[in-house]
Structure 1
C-alpha cells in the first residue's frame, strides 16, 4: 500500500501534525489529484472549533484543491492524466480534503484550470465561489434562478436589488460578481470605502462605508432602494449585528430573505422594525455531494466564465516554505483576527505556500517598509497617509500631475487645429485646393479617432489617460475643478492655434505652424514618463493577477464599443458631437464671415477665435464657483450622498444658452460671450461619475464619435455656408441643439438613469 504525507488535525485547538496516510484509490467517476495543500481562512476555524471536521478526527482539512490528475476512476472521460485541475473537496471525507499530497474528488466538482490564470489564482475559487453559488441559487439560500444551465433564460433581475454585507471579504467579492451575472439592477454592498473602486469593478453599484452606525447604513440603503429590498446576504457573520442589519434593510411590506454564512446568535427583533409580510433567515448549506446537479452545472460553466473575464480571482501574496510550526502560527493568527491567511501548495510535493490575502502595491511585487494595515475582513488596505495611495499625494504632486495631463491635452488639440489657419497658404504653396489642404487636419483627426479604439481601453488596465488620472487623484468635488481645466484646454488649444498659424503664415510660411507644434511636442513627450499609476485598484493589485493576451483582446479592447452603445454614453456622445462639430466649423465659418465678407487678413481674421478662449475661461470660472458652493453645502465632507446627476444643472443652463447664441451669431454675425464649455465640462464629469472604473473607455467612446463628426465638418462647412448662408447654417445647428437641450433634464428626471445603465463599470468585465 502506498502512503503519502498529510497535515492533520488530531484534536481541536491543538497544533497540526505531519503524518503518513494511505494514498486513496479513485472510485467510479473520481480522479486522484497530486496533490494540493491549500489553507483557506475558514480552516483556522476547523483547527480551533472543528468546523466541517469535528466528526472525522483525526483528519486532513482544506477544501480548495489544486493539482495534477495522476489517476482516473472508471467512467471518467472529462479528464486525462497530467491535466492541471482545481476542485472543491468534501469535508466529510478525509480522502477528499486538501492538506495532503494526494486526494480524490468527484469529476463533477472539478474542472481544468483555464488558460490565462495561474494555479495560485485558480485556488481562490472552489470554496468561496461555491459557497456563494449556494447562497444565491439554491433553496438553502436565496433560491434565485442561476445564470447558467436550463434556468439561464429566467435569470434576469434587472428590476431587483440585492444587499451583500461584507463585500470586501473573499465570499463577498464572489457574491458581487455572481449577482452581476444574474443581472441584478442594483448590487449594494457594505464594506470599507477604500475598496470602492475594486468592488465597483467587480459589479457593485453602491458601496456603503461599514464604519457607521446601523441607523446610518440602513438609511443609505433605503435611500438607494426604498422599501423594495427582498434579497440580502451576510458574508461576515462573526456577530449578530451583521445579520440584524440585513434583516433591518429588508422590505417592511414584502417578504424578503436573508442568507447567512454562519449562525452568530439570534437577530434582535426589536431593532429590525415591522415586517408585515415577515422574512426568511436561511443558513447557507454548501453541500455539493447532497446537491450534485447545481454543483455540476456550476463547475461546467466556471472555466468559461474565468477565461472570458466574467468571474475574477481574488489576489494574494505568495511566500515559499515548509514549516508545520509556522502553519500553526498562521492559522492561530487568523482565528485571533490578526491576519487573513491562505497558505497554498505549489507543484513540488508538499511545498507549502503561505498566501496572505492582500493586494500588491505599485506595478509589481513591491514590498515597502510601511506597516501593513488590514480591515475588519483581514484584507490589506491603504493605511493612513500611505504614499502609494493617489489620494494621499501631496498638493504639489497632484498639481504637477494635473498640469502634466492637461498640457498633453493642450498639445494635442493645438497640433491638430494649427494647420486650419494656414489652409490658404498650403493651397497656394502646393498648388492644391483648399479642401485638399484641409486634409492635413482631417487625417490628424482620423488618427485621433482611431487611437482610442486601442489605447483607451488599455488605459483602464495599466496605462494612463488624462481624465482617468484626474479622477483618481482627487475626490469628486476636486475632480470637477480639475475637469474644468482639462475641458478648457480642449477648447483653448484649438482656438489659439489658428490665430498663431494665421500670423505665422503672414510673417514666415505655413511650415512654421508645423515647427511650433513639434517644439511643443518634444518636451511633453518626456512628461509622459513622469506620471505614476494612479488607479487605486491597480496599485493594490499590481501584478498579482496575470491576464492572457486573448482576455485583453476579448474584454478590454471591445469595451469601448460596448460603452459607446450604452444609453448614457451614446446620447452624451451625440451632444458632444454637435458641440465639437460647431467648434471645428468655426475654422471655416470665421474666415468666411471675417475674411471673405469683411476683408480682414489671415491673421486678424482668426482673432475672433479668442472669443472661444474667453468663453472657456468664463465658463470654467462659473463652474468653479458652482463646485465651491456645492462643497460648502457639505458634499466634500460626505454629508450628502453624491450621484452623477448632481453634475447636470449647469448643463441645463449651458444647453439653453448654447441654442440661443447659435441663432444669435448666425443672424447677426457678431460673436457671442457664452461658451459651450458649460456643456462640455459637465458631461465629462457626468461620464466619469457614471462609469468610474472605466471612465477612460467611456470618454474615448465619446471622443471617437465627436472627432469623427469634426473630421467631416472640415469638408462640408464651406459648401454649407455658400448654400445656406451663415444664418441658415447656424439655424440648422441650432435646431439640433433645441432637441438636445432636453437631455440633461431627462437624465435628471429618470431617478437616476446612471444607476440603471446596462454598461456600468460592473458590467464591463
Structure 2
C-alpha cells in the first residue's frame, strides 16, 4: 500500500470539503514532491466549491499557493535538490498538484527557492498573486502586453506613464502595484478601503483614493494627480461596479485588465479593450514562456526585497481550518490579509 497523507478533499461538484486520506504521489519528469508546510487561500477556492466552476473531475484537491520542502526529485530536474525550501504555483485541475494536502507535486518550471529571509508563510502568499499580476501586465493576449522589466533596461529618460489599480490591498492588487513600480509607471494610483491606505503605499502606490468614490469622483481626483491619459487600468476586484468605474477612467485605445470575465462593452468608438487575464501558468493557451521567465526572477525579487509578500493570518487546525477560512472570504470578512494554513498540523 502506498504511503498515505491527509488532504482536504472536495468530494463532488458544489459539495462539501472533508479531511480524508489519499496516497502520497510520486513525481514525474520535471516535477518535485513537496512536503507542504504552508498553503494560502484564494477566492477562486471557494468559488470552485460554491459555483462548481473550473474543476471537472472529482474528488478534487484545491489550492494553488504552496510553500514547503522538496522531498523527492522527478527525472530531469536539475535546479533543485532534496531539502530545498521552495514556493510553487499548484494546479487544482490535477488532484496530485493541489495545495490543500500534506504532500503535493510541483512543476519545477513554476517553482522557486525561498530565500532565508522569508518564511514558509510569507512565501505561500506569492504564487497566484504574482502570476496574475504578471499575466495582466505583461501577457500579450490576456493582458496589457507591456514589456516585462526583466526583458529591458528601464530608461530614466522615458516619459512616465500612469496606471490605475483598483483594489490595491487585495493580493493581486498588491503585487500589481509592486510590479508597476518595477516597470517604471508613475503615478501609481490605487483604490482601497481607508484602513488600508498605509498598506498600499508601502507596496509602492504613489496616490491612494477611497474605493467607495464614484467613477466621476475618482476621475476628478485623478485629474488633479496627472493630466496624462490613463491607458491601463488593472481591476483586481472585477465586480460589475468596479469594472464600470475602470471602464469610465480608461482613455481612448486603453486596456482594462480584469480578473473575472468582462461585463463592459465598447459603445463609444474609443477603441478601448477589456481583457480577462488568467494567472495560471499551467494552461496551454496561456503564455507559458512569460511565466517561465518570471519564475526565474522570484527568488531574486524576494531576496532583494523587490517583492514584498502579503500580510497574512495563520489559520488554526491545519487543513480543517481552511473550511472556515474560505467561508470568511466568501462573506467578505478578510481585508488586506492573506489566510494561510499549515497542512502538517492537521490532526
Give the TM-score normalised by the residue count of structure 2: 0.90
Secondary structure of the equivalent of 1:56? coil
For 1:59 and 1:7, locate their aligned partners in 2 and report how far apart those are by CA, in whole Å: 9
* 1:296-375 correspondence to structure 2 within 5 Å: 296-322=292-318, 324=320, 326-339=321-334, 342-346=338-342, 350-351=344-345
Q: In the alignment, is residue 23 of structure 1 matched against residue 18 of structure 2?
A: no
Give the CA RMSD over aligned residues: 2.3
Correspondence 1:108-507 to 2 at 5 A: 108-139=109-140, 140-148=142-150, 151-153=151-153, 158-226=159-227, 228-237=229-238, 239-251=239-251, 254-263=252-261, 266-267=263-264, 274=268, 276-289=269-282, 290=284, 291-322=287-318, 324=320, 326-339=321-334, 342-346=338-342, 350-351=344-345
Using CA pairs below 8 Å that are at least 6 residues apart, which structure has the higher relative contact order?
A: 2
CA distance in 2, matches of 1:255, 1:13: 40
Tell me how far 1:225 sits from its aligned partner. Answer: 2.9
How much has 1:244 moved relative to structure 2? 1.2
Q: Which runs of 5+ in 1 are unaligned?
A: 354-765
> Contact 1:37–1:352 (CA<8 Å) still a contact in 2?
no
**Cα deviation 1:534-582 (Å, max 9, x = unaligned):** xxxxxxxxxxxxxxxxxxxxxxxxxxxxxxxxxxxxxxxxxxxxxxxxx
Shift of 1:323: 6.9
Q: Which position in structure 1 is the counterpart of 2:47?
A: 45
In the other structure, the counterpart of 1:556 is none
Q: Structure 1 residue 36: deviation in Å? A: 4.8
Runs of 4+ aligned structure 1 residues displaced above 4 Å come to 154-158, 340-343
Q: Which runs of 5+ in 2 are unaligned?
A: none
Count of aligned pairs: 339
Q: How far apart are the structure 2 equivalents of 1:93 and 1:129?
A: 21
Whole-angstrom CA distance in 2 between matches of 1:36 and 1:261: 28
**Cα–Cα, structure 1 residues 154 and 57, in superposed 2: closer, same or farther, change >3 Å?**
farther
Distance (whole Å) between structure 1 residues aligned to residue 196 and residue 338 of structure 2: 20
Q: In 2, distance between residues paired with 1:88 and 1:286? A: 10
Q: d(CA) in 1 for partners of 2:338 and 2:298?
A: 21
- The structure that is helix-richer by fraction is 1
- Structure number with higher strand proportion: 2
Tell me the distance in 1 between the aligned counterparts of 2:8 and 2:301.
Answer: 33
Shift of 1:99: 0.7
Q: Judging changes above 3 Å, is the alpha-carbon distance between structure 1 residues 109 and 323 closer, same or farther for their aligned structure 2 residues?
A: closer
Render the CA deviation track for 1:585-620: whole Å, top value 9, x for unaligned. xxxxxxxxxxxxxxxxxxxxxxxxxxxxxxxxxxxx
SS in 2 for 1:74: coil
Partner SS for 2:21: strand
Offset of residue 29 of structure 1 = 1.3
Between structure 1 and structure 2, the one with the greater Rg is 1
Structure 1 residue 34: Cα displacement: 1.1
C-alpha distance in 2, partners of 1:206/1:342? 23
Partner of 1:11: 12
Pair 136,352 (structure 1): closer, same or farther in 2 beyond 3 Å: farther
Shift of 1:196: 2.5
* Cα distance in 1 for residues equivalent to 2:32 and 2:172: 27
